[in-house]
Amino acid sequence: MSSSPTSQRRVASATGRMAAVQEMAALQRMLFEVEREFVRTATALVPRLGGIELKYLLCQHVWESAGHARFLRERGREMSGFGKDDGVRAEFRKIFEEAIRNEDEQAALAGFYRVIKPAILSAYREYLQLTHQLADWPSRHLVEEFILDEERHAEEMEPYLEGIDSGKWKAHLQAALSAIGGWLGHEPKNSLPADFTWACEKSEYSHPLTCNRGDFPICSSVFSEDPDETPIVRQWLEDPQTDARVIRLMVYVWLMMELDAVDYLATVFYDTPEAPFDLHFDLARHLWDESRHSQFGFRQLPKLGVDLDTVEHSLELYHVLVRMTPPERYAMMTMEFEAGSFPTKAKVMDRVRELNDFEADTLLAFDRNDEQNHVRYGHRWLPEIMKLFKEERTVEQFVADTKARFEELHGTHGKATPHSLPPEQRLTGNKILSLAGLA
């Protein structure tokens, strides 16, 4: 099949021996920049949104969008004119900065999924109309797959957008996008309305000091030594006398609480705008992994008789880490929390295997495999994040100092969240004994 008439006209109007390739490479470059900015800014919504399954879904979409950006860059680098750096043009970045400025997190989400994402889908469809089916087959094959993803993203998110009144905000973002002619610049460029005001020019963006968990009960921590206070009793986890059924229930609570990692890791993307894309790509994978791990517990606990409305969500790590710098947040996550969890989780895995529970064994094995990769990410990327913040200490000294700073901040902010539920209503260690048939 020949290219479309539109494509033929555009190529005919270009100049130079490689004009046809360079023109399509330029469009791929725009699509790459848009996808990577979606990854950088949509993640800022994660701690603001209260719906647990909504957080999970957004993390999945971010990971898939990161994949789009990566494949676009790989294909683009095969073509003359794509460019060698990972930078994003200012007019694109400004629109994404604007998109997260709405103080209503539901309206902000609607802005991304009723303006930003539909425009991305439209741009992909336009790309197919502008390129040659055979000459540019590798690009077309990628874009056709991305279109299917974008259509699915819209369908998956629609139930979460029902009832959100975002008309004014949608018009606001659409005006900003129309002023540049859409993501590919091919639409009519309309002047901004006379009363248009850029919110991103009026104030800096800052992450919320507490993360949103919707209607779920909250507390500071799900770990303690008191079986009448929290569901995870530290000494029980490693005690060989603890029944394996109790271990399994406690570790599922632990996995579900990896949602705190989702909330605080999500803040690092926005705070590192000049990071290489490969760093954000690995962060997106890390974020999606933590979201999946949290789902392990979220899905499995009800199967074992746990009412999720009785499981308080721990907030202390977010409260402390959001007050630390991005390299400090990332150092604590990868070099302390994840690296430090391996010995205890190894014992937990061995105990759970006593139950011959294939599903539990599988989930725990994948959790461990992922966490090993996350520590590798930390070794690779912590030095790069430190450079972005002009940190001159050695990695070893920085990590040691960060641990000390965390302990200091934890004393002030770590215990700031009282239990939402009284002991008789919330899940505790002793109630886990009952669920396991031991009390």
Q: Which residue has the tokens 């926005």?
A: 270
**Tokens for 3?**
């290219």
The reply to whether 180 and 233 lie within a common domain is no
The reply to whether 242 and 181 lie within a common domain is no
pLDDT above 90: residue 317: yes
The reply to whether 182 and 76 lie within a common domain is yes
Write out pLDDT tens, residues 130-141. Answer: 999 999 999 999
Model pLDDT, residue 15? 61
Residue 48 in any domain: the answer is: yes
Residue 362 in any domain: the answer is: yes
The reply to whether 248 and 158 lie within a common domain is no
CB atoms within 10 A of CB 8: 14
The reply to whether 185 and 225 lie within a common domain is no
**Tokens for 434?**
């009952």
Residue 206 in any domain: the answer is: no
Q: Which residue has the tokens 């031991």?
A: 438
The reply to whether 105 and 155 lie within a common domain is yes
Model pLDDT, residue 30? 97
Contact assessment for residue 336 and residue 399, using Cβ atoms and an 8 Å cutoff: yes
pLDDT above 80: residue 428: yes
pLDDT above 90: residue 439: no
The reply to whether 188 and 237 lie within a common domain is no
Q: Which one, of 404, 386, 403, lies nearest residue 394 by Cα?
A: 386
The reply to whether 243 and 182 lie within a common domain is no
The reply to whether 11 and 125 lie within a common domain is yes
Write out pLDDT tens, residues 215-271. Answer: 999 999 999 999 999 999 999 999 999 999 999 999 999 999 999 999 999 999 999
Residue 401 in any domain: the answer is: yes
Last residue of a domain, one of 201, 234, 264: 201
Q: What is the count of structural domains for the chain? A: 2
CATH number at residue 183: 1.20.1260.10
Report residue 110's pLDDT band, with 50, 70 and 90 as the boundaries. Answer: very high
Give the CA angle between residues 58, 62, 63 to the nearest 5°.
Answer: 120
Last residue of a domain, one of 168, 201, 234: 201
Residue 167 in any domain: the answer is: yes
Write out pLDDT tens, residues 176-210. Answer: 999 999 999 999 999 999 999 999 999 999 999 99
The reply to whether 161 and 28 lie within a common domain is yes
The reply to whether 282 and 402 lie within a common domain is yes
Write out pLDDT tens, residues 379-402. Answer: 999 999 999 999 999 999 999 999
Residue 209 in any domain: the answer is: no
The reply to whether 242 and 318 lie within a common domain is yes
Residue 208 in any domain: the answer is: no
Model pLDDT, residue 313? 98
Report the first-to-last Cα separation within the chain, whole angstroms.
72
Model pLDDT, residue 7? 41
- Domain region containing 61: 5-201
- Give dist(CA 136, CA 73) in Å, integer: 15
Report residue 124's pLDDT band, with 50, 70 and 90 as the boundaries. Answer: very high
List CB contacts of 254: < 8 A, sequence separation 6 or more: 222, 232, 297
Percentage of residues in the chain with pLDDT exceeding 90?
Answer: 94
Percentage of residues in the chain with pLDDT exceeding 70?
Answer: 97
Residue 207 in any domain: the answer is: no
CB atoms within 10 A of CB 63: 20
Last residue of a domain, one of 151, 170, 201: 201
